Structure 1
Amino acid sequence: MAELTFKTNIRRDKWPRWMKKLHGYMTRVTQNRELEPTRDEYLRLKVIIEGCIENLKNEGHTRRALIHVWLGEDDNRMSLIVMRSNLVVISYFIE
């Protein structure tokens, strides 16, 4: 069974509020679910992340920041990359 893993350069105690809420939401959404590392699964998760970020913007947690979600592929592995102000904040992988 594959699970959603992440990689970030920011220490967990220094995460901004929106990042904590996004990661908590992604953990709950994928908790009891089998994930397959397919393009369709990554696109589904991308839509979920974009929806969560939109809700966080409406609640005022992102402080007018530009946050983008990209689908990346390198070394035959896909990932979801969350960027804020042109910096990679967190990357999600299905492993």
Structure 2
Amino acid sequence: MIERNAGRIINVASEAGIKPYPELIPYGISKTSLITLSRGLAEVAKGTNVTVNSVLPGPTFLCFMKSGKMKSISTSILRLTIISNTGAI
């Protein structure tokens, strides 16, 4: 992309990469790494027409998160959202 002087990299990260959740430590580590990668690549691409961004879309619940331990994690995360609502897949 840098050789062509054009391109866009968009990484989907998470708030868990910024604010640690005790129940989601491995997930948070992966998202922190992705955010750091994005920042590093943005520095490498500085001065070119290549942009690098991380998007943190907020909580999105999946069907498997409706029961068991994931349900309690989902409930605690929901309490932290400003609008008390989430996306769903």
Q: TM-score range by the shorter chain?
A: 0.3 to 0.5
Task: Please state which structure has a larger fraction of its residues in strand.
Answer: 1
- Higher relative CO (Cα under 8 Å, sequence separation at least 6) belongs to 1
Task: Please state which structure has a larger fraction of its residues in helix.
Answer: 2
Larger Rg: 2
TM-score scaled by length of structure 1? 0.33
TM-score scaled by length of structure 2? 0.35
